[in-house]
């Protein structure tokens, strides 16, 4: 074989080798794109509301009236046809992944104890069956109810009640709410969340696209802690504050992000409450002061966000990796969701 032939053959093999490398690279890129797409779809499933409502008899479990014990994922989804009630002294556990659809004008009244703890990938949904429902009411629920990894949506108070005026009522109640999303709720008669003579913790939650006639959150004679939440695009129809506190027993509002809410102001307290209220390390956004969310579905922070490492520097508020608290729903010890 002459030198030219050998050279040509060598170049052919080199070309084939280069071609194979290019094809291998393209294959790897395609695999990575598929993985990214799957991950983004999974992430989106946690926050979107593209759910197929059960419309044919037999696809859901109908419940109403007094309930206790456990609502299992196996029997989910549930259709609540009349008001659902957990009586005083009773308890109810809702398993991860359960979906509860409420008929119009139905509400969930908790006089006893409720434990609705989902997971990051199996949330618990409280939603409407056909457009609206009347929300949750914790009345004399003193055993420490807990909601975690839940989504509460499409509450719409379409009639005024003398007892439960808000979409989420707490009266003489104790409750912890964490890693929960409140979205697209409305109340044309009063507030969205109302706390009276109660002790409430709302932390690492997202409140978005909620509308109330008066305040989005109203607390009277209560202990309320609002820690590491996002308040985005909420509205008071009467141009009242997003949060109003009166006769505070103990109030703590820290490490939250307020952005693009439509109201007169974000937080207002009665003048006599100043010694019992801590309002600190919150981010109040504006057209020139953007928190830099990665997107407006999950409200994670972009790496250049001014809210990173801007929360309370006390170690008790540190992020899970030990760094200073990030403001917003993903900061602090419960921010890994």
Give the integer Cα–Cα distance in Å for 183 and 181.
6
| 41 domain residue, yes or no | no
Give the integer Cα–Cα distance in Å for 300 and 78.
31
φ, ψ of residue 250 in degrees (nearest 5) = -170, 115
| 262 domain residue, yes or no | yes
| 244 domain residue, yes or no | yes
| 271 domain residue, yes or no | yes
| 153 domain residue, yes or no | yes
Contact 33, 77 (CB under 8 A): no
CA atoms within 13 A on the CB side of 275: 1
Q: Which of 84, 129, 132 is nearest to 110 (CA)?
A: 84
| 53 domain residue, yes or no | no
Domain coverage including residue 128:
63-317
pLDDT in tens, the chain (337 residues): 544 444 444 444 454 454 555 555 655 555 555 444 444 443 434 444 444 555 545 689 999 999 999 999 999 999 999 999 999 999 999 999 999 999 998 999 999 999 999 999 999 999 999 878 999 999 988 778 999 999 999 998 655 554 456 889 999 999 999 999 999 999 887 899 999 999 999 999 999 999 999 899 999 999 999 999 999 999 998 889 999 999 999 999 999 999 999 998 999 998 666 778 999 999 999 999 999 999 999 999 999 999 999 999 999 999 999 999 999 999 999 999 9
| 30 domain residue, yes or no | no
Q: Please count the structural domains in the chain.
A: 1
Check residue 144 and give its pLDDT: 83
Q: Which of 187, 201, 197 is nearest to 148 (CA)?
A: 201
């Amino acid at each position: 074989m002459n030198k030219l032939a050998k050279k040509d053959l060598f170049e052919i093999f080199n070309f084939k080798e280069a071609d194979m490398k290019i094809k291998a690279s393209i294959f790897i890129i395609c695999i990575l794109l598929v993985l990214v797409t799957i991950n983004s779809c999974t992430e989106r499933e946690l926050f979107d509301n593209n759910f197929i409502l059960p419309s044919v008899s037999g696809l859901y479990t109908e419940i109403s009236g007094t309930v206790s014990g456990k609502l299992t994922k196996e029997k989910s989804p549930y259709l609540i046809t009349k008001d659902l009630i957990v009586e005083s002294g009773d308890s109810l556990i809702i398993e991860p992944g359960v979906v509860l659809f409420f008929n119009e004008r139905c509400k969930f009244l908790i006089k006893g104890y409720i434990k609705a703890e989902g997971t990051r990938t199996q949330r618990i949904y409280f939603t409407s069956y056909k457009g609206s429902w009347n929300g949750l009411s914790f009345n004399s629920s003193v055993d420490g109810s807990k909601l975690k990894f839940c989504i509460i949506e499409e509450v719409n108070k379409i009639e005024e009640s003398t007892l439960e005026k808000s979409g989420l009522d707490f009266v003489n109640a104790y409750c912890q709410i964490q890693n929960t999303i409140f979205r697209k709720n409305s109340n044309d008669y009063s507030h969205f969340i109302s706390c009276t003579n109660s002790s409430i913790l709302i932390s690492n939650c997202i409140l978005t696209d909620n509308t109330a006639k008066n305040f989005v959150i109203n607390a009277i004679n209560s202990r309320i802690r609002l820690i590491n939440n996002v308040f985005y695009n909420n509205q008071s129809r009467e141009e009242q504050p997003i949060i109003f506190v009166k006769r505070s027993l103990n109030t703590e509002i820290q490490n939250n992000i307020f952005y693009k809410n439509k109201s007169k102001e974000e937080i207002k307290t009665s003048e006599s409450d100043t010694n019992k209220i801590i309002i600190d390390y919150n981010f109040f956004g504006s057209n020139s002061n953007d928190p830099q969310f990665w997107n407006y579905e999950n409200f994670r922070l972009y790496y250049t966000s001014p809210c990173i490492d801007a929360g309370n520097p006390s170690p008790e508020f540190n992020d899970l990796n030990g760094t200073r608290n990030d403001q917003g729903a993903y900061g602090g010890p419960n921010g890994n969701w």
